[in-house]
A and B are shown apart, each in its own frame.
Chain A
């Protein structure tokens, strides 16, 4: 596992309730899990207490493929803090996952001007501190059909 050697000075997750920690633990294990409704099968992200499709509270942390395609994106050139500004310009993408729900994260490994809506991407992991791992997206080979 890689750890940062200098102090991480970007925003870390704060105020995460215990009920949502399985998501963050799954990132640390580099095997992302998302809540899935036992009743209707919908995937829920970000974590919720109740299914927003059928209102069931029976939700199970479920592995996902980690693959999807860009639904929309932006290139941030004016970042919120100096630490983020050092990385600018960076791409933020809303991605429609193969399972049919969306996730937002940074899209790495591609020049901002090459990003397109519809671009196939996959999840990658970044250990930002010993305690916290984030997921990002990176370009993926298009699914064969």
Chain B
């Protein structure tokens, strides 16, 4: 029977993250895809599968990106699908890409996310416009009150602090650890700002209590792409250790935060992790490095708990004293995450690509020693949709 691990991530690429208003979105998409192909030792002409968005998108081009890509490449695209896990969609698309390759539906599948140019709405380089657009995502029963994506997560953090005594300083540890990783990654959006301290985080401006400015992700543009092919093909290309999806799971949880019992414990996250660990046949203790959706620091803490790396309520002590730092008990979001590497578009792709770099041993000064198994968590919305993957060399 075909397995996801019959396929492998063979090429990755990321642009410099920041403000890319001087470039067009399609040009950045192509830069990423060409770069990922070159990293793999492939040509863009080898692509015969696509997940999610193609290079451009208005009208039919948006609704049907694969025909548009086929036309440009001069041959049919044999597989296209969309994965909908919010900001994690492009990373979670690794499941569909691996499925397509493992089943012979395509040989070389590309997944890319690009945000650049004079993008409007979410992709805007204008912070006010991006914040206002995202505010309305929650629907009329919430947005009439002036909710924001920060306020969504702030209410989760406030309740977590109440139930478990989690402190602002513990949340800050996550931001501090990730900023250090970003200073060691030349493409990160915030690395140039340098290291920060717990004191810096808890004294930064309050955005929505208890989340401070430095508990929040960046708003920026940028792109990334990865290529999935068969593990055999990847080995024959010989450029890098092939990185496979050993296990994968999703857990779509809720859309209305009023409609679920708890705002500190998310069954969808647990189900996604249990499914992924079950498929991979490995345990939490086997994981050397993690990437966990971090729109806000509290997201990492909730993600660690719900994925079973510690008991519910013990996330605060888990992350304390650099628990997620490069030398901590579980190095997490080692390139900086959404907080300090990039929060552009379907930004889960950057989480995934960093895990590939770690497993290849290509993470330079960020390298986690002997990283052989990685855990990926992608979140859509405010803990509303979850994807989990176990990655490893094959």
Within 8 A of B (CB), among A94-130: 94, 101-106, 112, 117
Q: In the complex the two chains form, is A15's CB within 8 Å of B145's CB?
A: no
Chain B residues near A76 (CB-CB < 8 A): 146-148, 150-151, 208
Question: Interface SS of chain B: helix, strand, loop or mixed?
Answer: helix
The listed residue with most B CB atoms (<10 A of its CB), out of A15, A84, A134, is A84
Residues in B109-164 with C-beta less than 8 Å from chain A: 131-132, 134-136, 139-148, 150-151, 154-156, 158-159, 162
Q: Please state if A10 and B208 are interface contacts (CB–CB under 8 Å).
A: no
A73 to B144, CA, bound (A): 16
A-B contact count (CB 8 A): 110
Of chain A, the residue at the smallest CB distance from B210 is A74
On whether the beta carbons of B257 and A104 are closer than 8 Å, the reply is yes
Chain B: number of interface residues, binned into ranges: 35 or more
| A48 and B256 alpha carbons, distance in the complex (Å) | 10
Q: Judging by beta carbons under 8 Å apart, are B206 and A75 in contact?
A: yes
Cβ–Cβ < 8 Å partners of A94 in chain B: 155, 257-258, 263
A10 x B146 contact (CB < 8 A):
yes
Pick the contact of A101: B134, B139, B154, B258 (CB < 8 A): B258
Binary interface encoding of chain A residues 48-87 relative to chain B, with 1 for a CB under 8 A from any of its CBs, else 0? 1000100000000000000000011111111111001001
- Verify A11–B209 contact, CB threshold 8 A: no
| Interface contact A78-B208, CB-CB below 8 Å | yes
Smallest Cβ-Cβ distance to B153: which chain A residue: A74
- For A16, the chain B residues whose CB sits under 8 A away are 140
A44: B residues at CB distance < 8 A:
259
Known: A72-B155, A74-B154, A78-B207. A46 touches B141 (CB 8 A): yes
Chain B residues with CB below 8 A from A102, complex form: 257-258
Given the known interface contacts A71-B159, A74-B208, A92-B155, the answer about A134 and B146 at a Cβ–Cβ threshold of 8 Å is no
- Find the A residue at minimum CB distance from B158: A72
- Which residues of B are at the interface with A, using a C-beta cutoff of 8 A? 131-132, 134-136, 139-148, 150-151, 154-156, 158-159, 162, 205-211, 256-259, 263
- Given contact pairs A77-B206, A90-B146, A94-B258, a sample of 14 additional A-B residue pairs in the complex whose CB atoms are under 8 Å apart: A10-B146, A13-B141, A46-B141, A46-B258, A46-B259, A73-B158, A75-B209, A76-B151, A80-B134, A87-B146, A92-B145, A94-B155, A104-B142, A104-B258
Q: 5 shortest A-B CB distances, which residue pairs?
A: A80-B135, A74-B154, A84-B146, A72-B159, A13-B140
**12 A–B contacts from the bound complex (CB under 8 Å):** A11-B144, A44-B259, A45-B259, A72-B159, A74-B154, A77-B205, A80-B143, A80-B148, A94-B258, A101-B258, A104-B257, A134-B144
